[in-house]
Amino acid sequence: MVPQRNVSAWRPRVPGVVEVFHAHFTEYAYPLHVHEVWTLLIVDDGAVRYELDRHEHGTPRDTVSLLPPHVPHNGSPATPHGFRKRVLYLDGTHLGDELIGAAVDAPDLRDPLLRRRVSQLHGAFGRPGDELEAAGRLVLVGERLRDHLRRRTGRAAARPRRDPALARALRELLDERVVQGLSLEEAARLLHAHPTHLVRAFSTAYGIAPHQYLMSRRVGRARRLLLRGRTPSEVAAATGFYDQAHLTRHFKKLVGVTPGRYARAVGTR
């Protein structure tokens, strides 16, 4: 077998994320090293064997591994065919240093919901124009990670609080910024609320995440413009989408057909 070392890496425009790193290795082994940030790892194929603080661990596909900053670890393939992994390097925005000890004790989390949310988060990071979705998914991932680690320290997880006034304020802000858009960080600053509480309050009140609400509003505007004879490329620019492909992805998800096909059907009976 020819050794494989395929990687891609980038820094998304989402606060709290230092780097997104995807890799496929068959024979490469990491020596002992440390990071200054948190390492959030999922494996899509194969498995990784690693030592953290001189204790051996492994990462089967159904786990999420969280390696804390400043603690030495290594890594090597645990199967003959190597592994495919997706990694997020996170600063202290969502995970504080007080949680390092709990992460050292048990870095591998068996939590199917968390595993799914981390995978969805990677998907959002790979789509330009979906930064609000990525930021919203990140705060929920951070919340669940904190809950896991705090339970290990004997601290109960805080129950989400209903806050209809805050939810309404965010909805009004999104309505004002349908085309311009809004980052979660800016919304939190304008509304004087923590991003996690903001996302939870909105989703609890309306049964939909802030990014889903914003995209629904944009697609609604896009439909009206297409009915008036505007082209999909014109509509994408006029409704706040990153580009025509971004419009097409969300339009098809909500309407069932592409903007081009929708436009061709205008006026037919």
Distance CA 87, CA 223 (A): 37
Tokens of 142: 């951070």
**Domain 212-265 class, CATH top level:** mainly alpha
C-alpha–C-alpha distance, residues 148 and 141, integer Å: 11
- Mean pLDDT on 171-189: 96
Does residue 70 carry a pLDDT above 70?
Answer: yes
- In this predicted structure, what is the pLDDT of residue 265? 84
pLDDT greater at residue 169 or residue 79: 169
Strand ranges, E, within 59-208: 64-67, 73-77, 83-90, 108-109
* 64 neighbors 118 (Cβ within 8 angstroms): yes
Mean of pLDDT values over 138-162: 80
Query: Distance (Å, rounded) from C-alpha 121 to C-alpha 255?
Result: 23
**Residue that is written with structure tokens 């620019």 in the block:** 237
Q: Identify which of 211, 207, 219, 217 has the alpha carbon closest to the alpha carbon of residue 254.
A: 219
CATH of domain 5-152: 2.60.120.10
Provide the whole-model pTM.
0.88
What are the structural domain ranges in the chain? 5-152, 164-207, 212-265
Give the model confidence (pLDDT) of 164-179 as tens digits.
999 999 999 999 999 9
Q: Can you read off the two tokens belonging to residue 30?
A: 């990491």
CB 264 within 8 A of CB 233: no
2-41 pLDDT, tens digit per residue, is 567 889 999 999 999 999 999 998 888 888 889 999 999 9
